[in-house]
């Protein structure tokens, strides 16, 4: 496991111990599920949450995480805050960001609120304590932020120019990015830039950009409420049909089938890939 995920796991374990409930990390302002590490890092696995998902399905949580939380984060200006989840419990939401971007968001909860105090599974939250915990978590997670937000945490190019290109792609994958633009930014010819990028990253610039976009799209399809056309746009694809074709080439099934299969059972392997 990458050293940054190891540090994250230690912090999350301590937060769970202090809070008596789940602590879940999601990367970027879109609350992209952290599927690159152990499941405990990104899934609410307490009995209360499992019961809600079994009773109402995953979509009730997907919309909350991918739509409601990002909107609330923007409204609170980067400070930790408390938010009711769709099941009526309370979560502590902790944005981790610098002046340029949100690296990710820590979810701590669920906690019992007034209407759920009879639920013995959930600890009762103290607002002052919770917000203090949130500010402490921000300080602990901020140094890890750039690495945890990165889509390729194990890739660390030695050439500082290519390292900056990789970081730029991971922050702007939803925008139009060209090889010529990146080469010009670092005063390199397109041919020299191409050679250097392959040497440092192990694949050409176009394939790397496409893999980054498809990797983010896969997480959004599995765990967000965005529809397929919206995901295509968010990940830099101008045409949803072309996106579906590329997605099937990489993952051997259509985006729609991936979502349907994942809704039925997260974590189980797909079957009959080539027929969908």
Domains and CATH numbers, the chain: 3-149 (3.30.450), 160-275 (1.10.10.60)
Mean pLDDT of 210-220: 93
Distant-in-sequence, close-in-space partners of 42: CB < 8 Å, separation ≥ 6:
24, 25, 26, 33, 34, 35
Mean pLDDT of 138-142: 96
pLDDT of 88 strictly over 80:
yes
Q: Give me the count of residues in the chain.
A: 276
CA distances from 125 to 45, 49, 108 (A): 19, 17, 11
Predicted structure pTM score = 0.75
The DSSP bridge pattern shows strands 102-111 and 23-27 to be antiparallel
The whole-number pLDDT of residue 38 equals 66
Instruction: Name the 3-class secondary structure at 122.
Output: coil
The whole-number pLDDT of residue 35 equals 72
The token duo for 218 is: 């896969």
Q: Average per-residue pLDDT in the chain?
A: 86
The whole-number pLDDT of residue 40 equals 63
Instruction: Name the 3-class secondary structure at 108.
Output: strand
> Does residue 178 contact residue 146 with C-beta atoms inside 8 Å?
no
């Amino acid at each position: 496991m990458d050293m940054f995920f190891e540090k994250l796991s230690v912090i999350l374990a301590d937060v769970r111990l202090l809070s008596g409930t789940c602590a879940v990390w999601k990367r970027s302002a879109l609350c992209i599920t952290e599927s690159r590490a152990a499941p405990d890092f990104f899934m609410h696995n307490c009995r209360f949450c499992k019961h809600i998902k079994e009773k109402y399905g995953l979509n009730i949580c997907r919309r909350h995480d991918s739509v409601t939380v990002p909107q609330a984060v923007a409204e609170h200006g980067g400070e930790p805050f408390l938010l009711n989840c769709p099941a009526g419990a309370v979560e502590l939401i902790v944005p981790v960001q610098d002046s340029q971007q949100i690296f990710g968001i820590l979810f701590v909860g669920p906690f019992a609120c007034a209407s759920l105090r009879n639920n013995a599974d959930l600890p009762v939250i103290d607002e002052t304590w919770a917000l203090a915990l949130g500010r402490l978590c921000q300080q602990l997670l901020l140094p890890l932020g750039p690495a945890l937000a990165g889509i390729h945490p194990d890739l660390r190019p030695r050439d500082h120019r290519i390292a900056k290109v990789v970081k730029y792609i991971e922050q702007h994958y939803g925008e139009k990015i060209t090889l010529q633009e990146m080469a010009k930014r670092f005063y390199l010819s397109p041919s020299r830039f191409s050679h250097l990028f392959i040497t440092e990253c192990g694949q050409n610039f176009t394939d790397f950009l496409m893999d980054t976009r498809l990797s983010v799209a896969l997480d959004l399809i599995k765990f967000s409420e965005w529809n397929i056309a919206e995901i295509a746009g968010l990940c830099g694809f101008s045409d949803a049909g072309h996106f579906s074709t590329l997605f099937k080439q990489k993952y051997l099934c259509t985006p729609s089938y991936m979502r349907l299969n994942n809704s039925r059972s997260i974590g189980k392997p797909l079957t009959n890939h080539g027929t969908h």
